[in-house]
Structure 1
Amino acid sequence: MRPADLAREHGISTQAVRNYEHDGFLPPAERTPSGYRIYTELHAAALRAFLALVRAHGHAIAGQVMTALHADRPDEALTAVDRGHAQLLRDRETLSAVRRAVDHLSAEQDPGEIRGALPGPLSIGELSHRLGVTPATLRTWEAAGILTPPRDRATGHRLFRPEDIRDADLAHLLRRGGYPLAHIATVVREIRTAGGTGGLAAALDGWQQRLTDRGRAMLTAAARLDAYLALSTGPSGRSGLGPPRQSHSG
C-alpha cells in the first residue's frame, strides 16, 4: 500500500499519514530501495485504530495509546483506555445525580420563579441568617463553586445579589436532600446557564446523547484496537509491536 491508499480510506491527506508514522502512531514502514514507504494491512489497521481512538478519547490519549503499544508497553496503553472508560462512568453517575436533583427541585419549586421574590444584596451574615446556616457554610459553598458573590469595592465584603441568593437557596435545598457539594455545584452551574429547570432538562437530554455517542465511539475504538493487536500478534501469542526499528534508508 501507498500513503495515498491509507489516506483515501479516511479522507485525510497523505502528509497526515506520514506525520502519524513519524509521531509513532503507526508502526514504522519499510522502504523501497528508492526510499518510498511501503505500507501493509498492519499499517491500515493501526490507522483505523488510531482514528477511532481519537473520536472516542481525543487526540492526546489516542496518541498515548499507540505510542505506548509501539514502545512495547501494552499495559500503559490499556491503562490509558481504562481511564477513559472510568471517566465516562463518572460522567454517567454525575448526570444521574443531576437528574435526580432536578426532579427534586421541580417537586419543590421552580428555581426560575425564585428570583423576582428575592431580596438583595445581602451580607454573608444576613444570608446565613436567612438560610439558618453558618457563614462558614456559605464560604464552603463558595469554595466549591456553588456561590460566586462579588465583593464590595470599598470594604471587600461579600455582597450576595438576588441570583446569588437563588443559588444559595437551591444549594440549601439540595444539601437537605443529601446531595454532595460537587453535584450541587454542577446543578447550580447548569441552572444558572439554562435559567431554570425547564431549560436544564433539555440541556441534560443533550448531555445524555453526548455520553451515549461517546460510549458507542469507545466500543468502536476498542474493536479497532483489538483487530490491530490481533493482526500484530505473532504465533507465540506475543505482540509483534515494539520499539521503532533503526532505519538507514532515506
Structure 2
Amino acid sequence: MTEDGMTWTGDPIWLADVLRDAGLRVIEHEGWRDRGHGDFEDLRGVLCHHTAGGGPDDWRTVQYGRPGLEGPLAQLVLERDGTYRVIAAGVCWHAGSGSWPGWPTNNANYHVIGIEAVSSGDGTDWTPAQLDAYKRGCAAILCRIDRAADDCVAHREYSTEGKIDPAGIDMDEFRRDVQAFIDGEDAPMSAAEVTELKDFITAFCGPIGSDVKDIREQLCGGGQRDTGQYAGWPQLNNRTVVDALADIYARLERLER
C-alpha cells in the first residue's frame, strides 16, 4: 500500500530506475515508457515466467509478439547473465486466465508486472546470476509498490490454463529469498547454489574437508591430527605456530625498549 493507504496506481515508468537502484544491469528499449496495451488500474504484484526459448533473441517475441498474440507480452525480460530488458510500462498480455489471493480473477494483466526470464523451459538452464537478479528484481518492484513476497507468483501458480513456468524454480524458496531482500537482508543460498559453490571450491582446492586437518596440523602441531591435542611442533620448542609467533613478538617488543 502507499502512504495514504491506497494501492499503487499508474503505469510503472519507474521500472528502470528501481532495478538500477537495486544494483541490477538494465537495458532500456526505445519507447518503452509509451509501449503497452493501455494503462494499469493498480499494481498488486509480480508474475514470473520463462520464455521457453532460451536464446539471445527471446526478447523480440516479448516485445513484438507472436502469431495470434500482439506484443508486448511482458514488461521485463531477464537475460541469462542477469541483465534486465525494460520492454514496456503499459499493460502486457502475459497472465491469461487464473487467480491468486488479492488479485482480480482472470484480469491480472491490468494489475501485475510480468517478467519473462530467458530459459528453454525445461528447468535445467537457470544461471546463478539470473536467479539472483530474478529475486532482487522482484524484491525491488514489490518494495516500490509496498507489497510483500506473497505477491511474487509463478505463472503456474496463478494459471488455470495448465502453465508450467517458471519451470524448475521452487517458489516457496524463491519467495523466502525475495522477502529477505525486501527486509534488507542477504538472502540465504539455495541448496543448488551451495552445491555449485562446493563444486567450484573442489575444482580448485580439492575435496572439501581433506585439507582441514592439514591446516590445523600446521597451526597446532602433529599431535592435533592424532590425538586432538595442541601439542605444538618440536622445532618450535613444542609451541603451536600462534604461540611461537607470540613469543617472537614479545621478544621484539623487549628489544625495542
Larger % of helix: which? 1
Larger relative contact order, structure 1 or 2 (CA cutoff 8 Å, min sep 6): 1
TM-score (norm 1): 0.22
Larger % of strand: which? 2
